[in-house]
Amino acid sequence: MKKLGNVSSLAEEKAKTDFFDACDLTTDLIYEFDNLGLDAGPAIGGALTQLLSYLMAVSPDTPTAMTMLSSCLSNAAFNVEDCQYTHEGNDLVH
């Protein structure tokens, strides 16, 4: 992305905030699955199916969708191996 001064940094900050807010909301959803007594495998499978279907529907082409999916898998692998969490909590979402 070409830097356009403050406009670019504001867009990057919004993207970062949106990313972590979505992480928080997804974590809440996973806890809700558990609270409802849903089995983890089918519940997560259903959620992933919907997310992937949406990703493919809104992406301009298959390579773009696969690039995003690859990036997400890489982030997830890093989280599991290094951190065990996505980030420190975000009180704005709850």
- pLDDT at residue 79 in the model: 86
d(CA 62, CA 70): 12
d(CA 81, CA 68): 20
Q: Which residues of the chain have pLDDT under 50?
A: 1, 93-94
State the pTM of this model.
0.71
**Is residue 93 included in any domain, yes or no?**
no
87 neighbors 23 (Cβ within 8 angstroms)? yes
Residue (of 42, 1, 4, 23) closest to 93 by Cα position? 23
**Helical ranges in 1-94 per DSSP H:** 6-35, 40-58, 62-78
**Is residue 91 included in any domain, yes or no?**
no
**Domain enclosing residue 46, as ranges:** 6-83
- pLDDT at residue 59 in the model: 98
> Count of domains in the chain?
1
